[in-house]
């Protein structure tokens, strides 16, 4: 099993519903976020191009945060999801410094927090809360090893990219372009 | 002109707009640990080579600094942790891929070793010292018997401690400035030179001072060589590493790096030490303090600038 997410940058309007849904679902402390929206404007006026991306942890197959964690609090579970165990985390910040996507943040309670792909929901057959609420249905989630999953289907049909593949992290968040 | 404007909705404290997760505690610890490693390596090396009587201060006196340095360093590390009550998790896990795990376990060995080494030489500071309890005397006799083995442990773990302070940073490919394997040897060299400088300050023996001025000079040369290579490597690498080098070549860290690390921390003390060896009268304490200060600044500049260096996407 290999969970992954695809984000359709052509359909995303940048409404930030995914951000609010995540904050509500996961009790993210005020002022922090586990997912966020990036708008990239490129070109010379009036020939401008815009890309909107809903970003979060890339749940890398070669995760630097898991490698550098001195206690094993950062770990990979079934399906390739990168998680943090708060009671094993000492809050040293090594994983935060090691993430090229800056997807982690120090929780005010001391441990490090990040996107979990809503592991508690997908265990019960639901999709992550960001995927669930997206009004333009631009987020696709599923198992890459299953050729009939949402994410496998859309990646077969569309062109896509990953973020900083040259960092060698083997990210599992795909952006349809 | 082509322009790319990136607007991110993310504003996580200590991560945005620039990473600033590590503050003064980490560079201070890297300096204290590095200097302690330098002092212990030099002491162990001269003891193993049987030069204890020629370089008495370096082998028997300067190591008294190391328990203090290490304890202060450990304290800084503890202050840095955000989930302090769980610090013991470091010692219920061995993670071979994590430099920080290596560091935690190395400190677990080298800190007691530094205390034992001082205990064995306590009579050099207090000639009438008495351990009072028989079991303490038994421990002293035991370690005196295996002092050479202890020195080897001290040398090897001292080297690991000195190198790991650099590897700790270079293992992060997310921060292009840190992502160079030269940081390992550079921080080791910087720690050794700070350790040599400590003996230079504490020694009252003219021959010993001369020798340590020479050692310091050689290590400063090695450091300059490594720094030049670091920049050559960056400038011949990918865009993100070229950008990282530019932090020091016109960017916000240019002045602090070239003035405090290179000029005041390396070049000026080197010149003063050369003059001293040429029989000009220069108090040894001046270049020595500059070397130690430069070693501290190197850690601060690298840790802070590294967090400003990143991938753009």
Q: Return the C-alpha torsion angle B181, B184, B187, B193, nearest 10.
A: -120
Give the separation between CA A50 and CA A48, rounded to whole angstroms: 7
The token pair at B179 is: 């992502």
Dihedral, CA atoms, B167, A82, A139, A130, nearest 10 degrees? -110
What angle is formed at CA B164 by the lines to CA B159 and CA B166, rounded to 5 degrees?
115
Give the torsion through C-alpha atoms of A122, A24, B86, A63, to 10 deg.
Answer: 50
The reported pTM is 0.94
- CB atoms under 10 Å from CB of B127, counted, come to 7
Contact by Cβ (8 Å): B313, A163: yes
Q: Does B25-83+95-308 carry CATH code 1.20.1630.10? A: yes
The stretch B234-259 carries a mean pLDDT of 95
Contact state of A97 with B98 under an 8 Å Cβ cutoff: no
Q: Do A98 and B172 touch (CB under 8 A)?
A: yes
Show residues of chain B in contact with A93, CB under 8 Å: 21-22, 80, 82
Half-sphere exposure of A158 (CA within 13 A, CB side): 20
Backbone angles phi and psi of B86, in degrees to 5: -100, 15
Q: B9 pLDDT exceeds 90?
A: no
Measured between alpha carbons, how far is B283 from B286 in angstroms, rounded to an integer? 6
Query: Strand A81-84 and strand A74-77: pairing?
Result: antiparallel
Q: Does B239 lie at the interface with A, CB-CB under 8 angstroms? A: no
pLDDT digit string (tens) for chain A, length 177 residues: 999 999 999 999 999 999 999 999 999 999 999 999 999 999 888 889 999 999 999 999 999 999 999 999 999 999 999 999 999 999 999 999 999 999 999 999 999 999 999 999 999 999 999 999 999 999 999 999 999 999 999 999 999 999 999 999 999 999 999
DSSP A16-78: -HHHHHHHHHTTPPTT--SSEEEEEEEEETTEEEEEEEEE-----TT-HHHHH-SSS-EEEET
At B151-186, the pLDDT tens digits run 999 999 999 999 999 999 999 999 999 999 999 999
Number of domain units in chain A: 1
Mutate to test the interface with A, among B8, B20, B83, B239 (most CBs of A within 10 A): B83
User: How close A127 comes to chain B (CA, Å)?
Assistant: 23
CB–CB contact A102 B99 (8 Å): no
CB B230 within 8 A of CB B296: no
- CB–CB contact A96 B10 (8 Å): no
- What's the CATH number where A76 sits? 3.30.70.20
- CB contact under 8 Å between A88 and B86, yes or no, is yes
Does residue B125 have a pLDDT over 80? yes
Range of the domain at A127: 3-176
**Cβ neighbours of residue A120 under 8 Å, at least 6 residues apart?**
none
């Amino acid at each position: 099993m290999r969970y992954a997410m695809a984000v359709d940058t052509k359909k995303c309007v940048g409404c930030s519903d995914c951000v609010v849904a995540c904050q509500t679902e996961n009790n993210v402390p005020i002022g922090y976020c586990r997912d966020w929206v990036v708008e990239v404007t490129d070109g010379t006026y009036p020939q401008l191009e815009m890309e909107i991306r809903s970003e979060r942890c890339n749940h890398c197959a070669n995760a630097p945060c898991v490698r550098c964690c001195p206690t094993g609090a950062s770990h990979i579970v079934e399906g390739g999801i990168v998680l943090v165990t708060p009671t094993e985390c000492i809050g040293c910040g090594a994983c935060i410094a090691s993430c090229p996507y800056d997807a982690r943040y120090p929780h005010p309670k001391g441990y490090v927090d990040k996107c979990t792909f809503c592991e508690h929901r997908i265990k019960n057959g639901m999709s992550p809360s960001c995927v669930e609420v997206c009004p333009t249905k631009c987020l696709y989630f599923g198992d890459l090893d299953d050729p009939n999953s949402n994410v496998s289907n859309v990646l077969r049909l569309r062109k896509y990219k990953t973020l900083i593949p040259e960092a060698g992290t083997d990210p599992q968040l795909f952006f349809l372009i | 002109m082509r322009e790319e404007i990136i607007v991110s909705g993310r504003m996580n404290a200590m991560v945005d707009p620039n990473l600033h997760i590590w503050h003064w505690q980490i560079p201070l610890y890297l300096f204290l640990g590095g200097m302690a490693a330098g002092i212990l390596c030099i002491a162990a090396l001269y003891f193993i080579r049987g030069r204890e009587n020629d370089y008495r201060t370096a082998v028997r006196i300067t190591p008294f600094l190391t328990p203090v340095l290490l304890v202060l360093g450990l304290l800084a590390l503890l202050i840095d942790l955000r989930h302090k009550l769980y610090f013991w998790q470091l010692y219920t896990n061995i993670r071979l891929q994590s430099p920080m795990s290596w560091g935690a376990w190395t400190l677990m060995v080298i800190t007691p070793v530094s205390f034992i080494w001082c205990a064995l030489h306590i009579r050099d500071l207090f000639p009438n010292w008495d351990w009072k309890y028989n079991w303490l005397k038994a421990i002293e006799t035991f370690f005196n018997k295996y002092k050479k083995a202890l020195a080897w442990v001290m040398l090897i773990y001292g080297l690991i401690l000195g190198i790991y302070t650099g590897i700790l940073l270079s293992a992060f490919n997310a921060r292009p400035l840190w992502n160079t394997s030269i940081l390992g040897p550079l921080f080791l060299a910087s720690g050794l030179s700070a350790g040599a400088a400590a003996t230079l300050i504490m020694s009252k023996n003219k021959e010993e001072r001369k020798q340590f001025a020479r050692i310091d000079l050689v290590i400063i040369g090695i450091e300059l060589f490594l720094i030049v290579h670091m920049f050559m490597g960056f400038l011949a690498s990918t865009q993100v590493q070229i950008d990282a080098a530019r932090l020091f070549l016109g960017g916000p860290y240019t002045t602090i790096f070239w003035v405090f690390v290179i000029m005041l921390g390396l070049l000026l003390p080197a010149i003063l030490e050369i003059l001293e060896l040429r029989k000009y009268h220069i108090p040894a304490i001046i270049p020595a303090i500059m070397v130690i200060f430069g070693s501290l600044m190197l850690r601060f500049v690298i840790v802070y600038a590294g967090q400003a260096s990143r991938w753009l996407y």
